[in-house]
């Protein structure tokens, strides 16, 4: 059956000239079959999934491929929000919208989506340029979480909502609820802001005090100040992560 599908794709490519049907131009047959096992069904429209796996860097060395996975990433982001929102609405009938919104944000943040991508070994399937692949470990969280969103977008586009829900239950929702850390509020900047507002304090400010390293591997140092007093300092690969660490340290000091 798999051989017949490959033959069908080959004929489709020969008659249409559409590169998305020329599967072996992107990944080998073994990986393609493995991808089918991961998503849970046979693929008859490979273009959606190959697009989902195509990082923009791949286009730089493959001019006959267009476009990258960014449109599917956009679609997948919206679909994940919908499915997770529906799931939480049904799972917690007595919780208010504030709790549901906060819990959803924990389940769909970059860290949670990165973990979901890791579960399915998405890094083994992503199509990236050779140069980008060398730097991938340093920025893999963002690339893999974006790739996971794109795969979700591909499944939705190809198979619809029910199949997409099934995939997300297996790869994101059920595993996340087994890991209690996902249900903790890790948005320390938000928590610190709530504290400052509750205590009627002023002048909460995050200041970048240092940038180190080459452009592709920067390290940021950020201080958080309240009323011009330094409460915490954090380091991170980007400003946002450094700010979160600084806010976490500030909260620890406040509560101690």
Q: Could you give the CA distance from residue 130 to residue 135 in angstroms, rounded to a whole number? A: 9
Q: Could you give the CA distance from residue 85 to residue 155 in angstroms, rounded to a whole number? A: 18
Higher pLDDT, 160 or 60: 160
Radius of gyration of the chain (CA): 22
pLDDT, tens digit, 9 for 90 and up, residues 203-250: 899 999 999 988 767 899 999 999 999 999 999 888 888 999 999 999
pLDDT at 32: 87
Token readout for 73 is 């990433």
- Name the active-site residue from 73, 77, 158, 165: 77
State how far the alpha carbon of 48 is from the alpha carbons of 19, 66, 71, 135, 214, in Å. Answer: 12, 12, 11, 26, 35
Average pLDDT across the chain, whole number: 86
Q: Could you give the CA distance from residue 250 to residue 252 in angstroms, rounded to a whole number? A: 5
* Banded model confidence at residue 172, pLDDT cuts 50, 70, 90: very high
* Banded model confidence at residue 134, pLDDT cuts 50, 70, 90: low
Q: Is the pLDDT of residue 180 over 60?
A: no
HSE-up (13 A, CA, CB side) for residue 100: 17
Question: Active-site residue 225, yes or no?
Answer: no
Higher pLDDT, 39 or 183: 39
Domains and CATH numbers, the chain: 2-183 (1.10.1520.10), 188-255 (3.30.160.20)
For 21-30, 39-48, 159-168, 218-227, which range has the lowest pLDDT when averaged over its residues? Answer: 21-30
Q: Is the pLDDT of residue 131 over 90?
A: no
Q: Tell me the pTM.
A: 0.71
Contacting residues for 98 by C-beta, under 8 A, at least 6 apart: none
* Banded model confidence at residue 138, pLDDT cuts 50, 70, 90: low
pLDDT at 77: 97
Nearest to 167 by CA among 227, 101, 87: 87
pLDDT, tens digit, 9 for 90 and up, residues 72-122: 999 999 999 999 999 999 999 999 998 899 889 889 988 889 989 999 999
Q: Is the pLDDT of residue 184 over 80?
A: no
Q: Is the pLDDT of residue 23 over 70?
A: yes
- Name the active-site residue from 73, 149, 165, 243: 149
Token readout for 75 is 């679609």
pLDDT at 79: 98
For the CA atoms of 12, 13, 17, 23, the dihedral, rounded to the nearest 10 degrees, stands at 140
Question: Active-site residue 202, yes or no?
Answer: no
């Amino acid at each position: 059956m798999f051989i017949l599908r490959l033959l069908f794709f080959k004929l489709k490519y020969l008659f249409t000239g559409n590169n998305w049907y020329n599967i072996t131009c992107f990944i080998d047959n073994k990986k393609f079959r493995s991808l089918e096992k991961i998503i849970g069904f046979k693929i008859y429209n490979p273009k959606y999934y190959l697009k989902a796996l195509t990082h923009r860097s791949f286009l730089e060395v493959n001019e006959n491929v267009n476009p990258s996975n960014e449109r599917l990433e956009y679609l997948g982001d919206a679909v994940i929000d919908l499915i997770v929102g529906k799931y939480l609405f049904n799972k917690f009938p007595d919780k208010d919208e504030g709790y549901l919104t906060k819990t959803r944000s924990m389940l769909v943040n970059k860290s949670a989506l990165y973990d979901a991508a890791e579960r399915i070994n998405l890094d083994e399937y992503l199509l990236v340029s050779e140069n980008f692949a060398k730097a991938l470990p340093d920025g893999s969280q963002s690339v893999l979480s974006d790739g996971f969103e794109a795969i979700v977008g591909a499944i939705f586009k190809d198979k619809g909502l029910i199949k997409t829900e099934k995939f997300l239950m297996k790869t994101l929702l059920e595993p996340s609820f087994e890991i209690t850390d996902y249900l903790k509020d890790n948005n320390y900047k938000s928590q610190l802001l709530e504290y400052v507002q509750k205590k009627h304090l002023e002048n909460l400010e995050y200041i970048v005090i240092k940038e180190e390293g080459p452009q592709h591997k920067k390290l940021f140092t950020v201080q958080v100040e309240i009323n011009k007093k330094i409460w915490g300092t954090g380091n991170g690969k980007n400003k946002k992560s450094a700010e979160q660490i600084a806010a976490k340290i500030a909260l620890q000091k406040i509560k101690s």
